[in-house]
Amino acid sequence: MDYFSQESGRRKIQDVTAINRFLTKMYSFMLIAVLVSAVSSYLTMTVFRSAIMNMPQAMLWVIIFLPLALCLGISFKAVKNPTLGFTLLMFLSVVYGVEFSIIASYYAGTTITSAFLSAAAVFASMAIFGTITKKDLSGGGAYLSAATIGFIVATLVNVFFIKSGAGAYIFSYIGVIIFTGWTAYDANSAKRIFIEYGDQVSDSGLAIMGALNMYLDFINLFMLFLEIFGINDRR
């Protein structure tokens, strides 16, 4: 997601060392977020399992919709206040960890492992491609956005009206394709934005924003692969 407009005549960062340092920081933030989600999910399934299983339904809805508010908060605050942005990112990771623990209770351990490894492989390959390619992938953003909206609408229609297991399975494959594209796009976009604006705003803030996008791409890939591999578990 590109939060910056293009302007001509702007001085660009050409220092390869600075770019690599920024990318290292961004992916470090993203990996920390994934680890926090994993620890949060594990603690929820073990130490706090009883409390989660008996929590009020209203609290469940809060957990479901809270990530949206946190994502917006990070998007608006990360550049101006990197410390707050990082704190919100960690909070988001904890909330998603709690959600994963609830979802994971419906799947076998081997299914979760397979989904995680598949998501990691796809994410890593596309993140590398998006980072090292010399092509500007910004033109694909509009198509990915349109595809994502169509995917969400079709998924909701299937969940609430059609309720087709085969449809959900097919949509999961389509979702993997879409978020594979988003991974390459967001990796490319983060690098491009730093080159364009890294000398004018906080590079830590840009790194947090990039980490948020990459974290969400990975999470979506993981959940979609979990849907694909877990069809027999749900049966």
Q: How many angstroms from the chain centroid is the CA of residue 15? A: 28
* DSSP class per residue in 168-204: HHHHHHHHHHHHHHHHHHHHHHHHHHHHHHTTTS-HH
pLDDT at site 77? 94
pLDDT at site 48? 87
How long a stretch of residues is the chain?
A: 235
Q: Smallest Cα–Cα separation from 190: which of 142, 145, 141?
A: 141
Q: Which two tokens stand for residue 44?
A: 């929820």
Q: Smallest Cα–Cα separation from 118: which of 40, 173, 51?
A: 173
Pseudo-torsion of CA 37, 42, 44, 47, nearest 10°? Answer: -140
Q: Smallest Cα–Cα separation from 165: which of 217, 233, 64, 96?
A: 233
Q: What is the pTM of this model?
A: 0.91
pLDDT along the chain (235 residues), means of 10: 48 81 97 97 90 85 93 95 97 96 88 96 98 94 96 94 88 97 98 91 95 98 94 64
pLDDT at site 53? 80
